[in-house]
Chain A
């Protein structure tokens, strides 16, 4: 069955938007109407132009074309959304697997540690980490990932607990297969399925948290385009010059929406109807 059929109409549109965002991010210099402005070059002459044919979404306080800025902004937001989820999975999955499989003290210890990170107010931990590491894209990503991995650890552990009792796992154990091999060969693939769906669903909220960080001034360094910072910068001129905040705000919303719908479509295809 072809992918589009598998994802259904909504899922396909969402996938199209995500692919479009990836293409925009990769080929920004060639696609955006004013590449140098997108990268940050100021152009004071036409400061605060309202939306027009040349500037579909107008220009910002330094006269830079908003469409180009949003396209360049896709680079930051997309990478941060995907990397946060990836790093969180890379940390959360092993913790969850070991805790679920080993049980006993391992489980208790790892899970209490996870609770500590979960109890710690997420955005506060992220802001603290970002303040500690200093602004910059990688630091912001690490900061948010630190607050994100516990969720995946929990999901992974729940999956492992469910799978550990399965006959095929016990059978493998009886045949003398070593613990790590069982974990990686048998349990990991089965646990990955729900986790990958959850991860797809989380890219949206992840890039929202990252853009919230840059909204607080802890994201990428200027003049790199970043949707969160652009919305913040535009807020002061809202609503007279509404397009300054509207363009990046809409972009964040659309990309997050696309990922959520995509995640949903994947989940539906997986049979668990959420």
Chain B
């Protein structure tokens, strides 16, 4: 069907989905009982300050007109101002989104690095001690509540033996003595760009606990999915043929079986990234990680709709973009899928 047409169709679908989500948020804004004017007028506004705010936000304009303005704002990326903090949302998103994306990426990588090899080895030595232990660990990881795991990790590694920082994204010394100027917003990358290895090490240390907490659930899923996929693959004839040709166990496992498991692993990658994007709310609160999750949960509790709308829009964009990329990678990796 040609790469171009496939891309076009998927893009059209994605736009449709994003529009749907934006509309859903806008509807929620109307349905949920809230008085944006009071929120916008400041912490303890007087009655007339609220009236002034209502006019300023032209809340009394007819619904379709407001949706048009709302959709236009989303499209142009000028998300306007938060009702609560009156700060331009785009500015906050530029600070918070990379933090969440960084955490989501690292935790997803961690989930894959732990889950997939473990699943592969468990499948290779099915019934062996690794398979049973791995099976139990994966179920435990899936069942473990994130907020509880976060507390345990914090108590043990940070407060207990103190080898890892308790919270935050960078140590305060760096922010005080020589702050890192954000280029991409990803501290790991920025520190490398600035060539500051101390900052890189510090950022990495701050990432470990939250990323590990966030990676537990997807790692469990990754392991279970990879294990079942590999078991099926290892039973196939071409694996038997490869063994008959005298190839070594490791070469067969990683060279022949694992490439076939790329498909299921990609779905796991998609799932754990999506989970990290939205599941991070709890982890961000406990580890004081200045990410989108915390920013949005506060906005939801105080019904700060521009922030909710903008963040949801951005998260949905990431989600849809990631799905698109995953499908493309899947097609490229698996030659049988003709685009």
Touch A–B, Cβ below 8 Å: yes
Residues of A within 8 A of B (CB): 112-113, 115-116, 119-124, 127-128, 131-132, 204-205, 208, 211-212, 215-217, 228, 231-232, 235, 238-239, 242, 245, 249, 252-253, 256-257, 259-261, 264, 273-274
**With A120-B312, A252-B148 given, is the CB distance from A274 to B224 under 8 Å?**
yes
What are the residues of chain B within 8 A of A231 when measuring CB–CB? Answer: 145, 147-148, 151
What are the residues of chain A within 8 A of B308 when measuring CB–CB? Answer: 124, 128
CB contacts under 8 Å to A, within B269-288, are 274, 277-279, 281-282, 286
**Is A245's CB under 8 angstroms from B151's CB?**
yes
How near does chain B come to A10, taking the closest CB pair, in angstroms? 9
What are the residues of chain A within 8 A of B296 when measuring CB–CB? Answer: 124
A121-B312, A252-B148 known, 10 other contacts, Cβ within 8 Å: A119-B21, A127-B297, A132-B33, A215-B147, A216-B297, A238-B151, A242-B155, A249-B148, A256-B144, A274-B228
**Is B28's CB under 8 angstroms from A132's CB?**
yes
B16: CB under 8 A from chain A? yes
Give the distance in Å from the alpha carbon of A131 to the alpha carbon of B299 in the complex.
11
**Is B155's CB under 8 angstroms from A239's CB?**
yes
What are the residues of chain A within 8 A of B303 when measuring CB–CB? Answer: 131
Give the distance in Å from the alpha carbon of A127 to the alpha carbon of B279 in the complex.
12
What are the residues of chain A within 8 A of B175 when measuring CB–CB? Answer: none
**With A204-B142, A212-B147, A260-B142 given, is the CB distance from A123 to B278 under 8 Å?**
yes
What are the residues of chain B within 8 A of A274 when measuring CB–CB? Answer: 224-225, 227-228
A-B contact pairs, 30 of them (CB 8 A): A112-B13, A112-B17, A113-B20, A116-B24, A119-B20, A120-B24, A120-B316, A121-B316, A123-B278, A124-B281, A124-B312, A127-B301, A128-B28, A131-B303, A132-B28, A204-B142, A208-B143, A212-B145, A212-B146, A212-B147, A216-B281, A216-B301, A231-B151, A235-B151, A238-B151, A249-B148, A257-B139, A257-B140, A260-B142, A264-B139
The A/B interface has a contact count, at CB < 8 Å, of 126
Give the distance in Å from the alpha carbon of A112 to the alpha carbon of B142 in the complex.
29
Chain B residue, CB-CB nearest to A130: B300
Give the distance in Å from the alpha carbon of A211 to the alpha carbon of B149 in the complex.
14
What are the residues of chain A within 8 A of B227 when measuring CB–CB? Answer: 274
Give the distance in Å from the alpha carbon of A164 to the alpha carbon of B278 in the complex.
35
What are the residues of chain A within 8 A of B151 when measuring CB–CB? Answer: 231, 235, 238, 245, 249
Grouping DSSP codes into helix (H, G, I), strand (E, B) and loop, the A interface class, with mixed when no group exceeds half, is: helix
How near does chain A come to B152, taking the closest CB pair, in angstroms? 8
B231: CB under 8 A from chain A? yes
How near does chain A come to B16, taking the closest CB pair, in angstroms? 6
The contact of A208 among B17, B145, B278, by CB within 8 Å, is B145
**With A119-B21, A124-B312 given, is the CB distance from A249 to B300 under 8 Å?**
no
How near does chain A come to B309, taking the closest CB pair, in angstroms? 11
What are the residues of chain A within 8 A of B13 when measuring CB–CB? Answer: 112, 115
The contact of B278 among A122, A232, A238, by CB within 8 Å, is A122
**With A123-B278, A123-B279 given, is the CB distance from A252 to B139 under 8 Å?**
no
The contact of A215 among B155, B277, B282, B316, by CB within 8 Å, is B282
B81: CB under 8 A from chain A? no
B176: CB under 8 A from chain A? no
Chain A residue, CB-CB nearest to B296: A124
What are the residues of chain B within 8 A of A259 when measuring CB–CB? Answer: 143
The contact of B301 among A131, A204, A242, by CB within 8 Å, is A131
What are the residues of chain A within 8 A of B277 when measuring CB–CB? Answer: 121
B90: CB under 8 A from chain A? no
Contact digits for B288-301, partner A, Cβ 8 Å, 1 yes 0 no: 00000000110011
Which of A119, A205, A228, A242 counts the most B-chain CB atoms under 10 A from its CB?
A119
What are the residues of chain A within 8 A of B143 when measuring CB–CB? Answer: 204, 208, 253, 256-257, 259-260
How near does chain B come to A115, taking the closest CB pair, in angstroms? 5
**Is B148's CB under 8 angstroms from A245's CB?**
yes
What are the residues of chain A within 8 A of B315 when measuring CB–CB? Answer: 121, 124
Give the distance in Å from the alpha carbon of A205 to the alpha carbon of B308 in the complex.
25
B26: CB under 8 A from chain A? no
**Is A119's CB under 8 angstroms from B320's CB?**
yes
**Is A252's CB under 8 angstroms from B145's CB?**
yes
Which of B17, B147, B316 counts the most A-chain CB atoms under 10 A from its CB?
B147
**Is A131's CB under 8 angstroms from B145's CB?**
no
Which of A131, A238, A245 counts the most B-chain CB atoms under 10 A from its CB?
A131
**Is B279's CB under 8 angstroms from A273's CB?**
no
**Is A128's CB under 8 angstroms from B144's CB?**
no
How near does chain A come to B205, taking the closest CB pair, in angstroms? 21
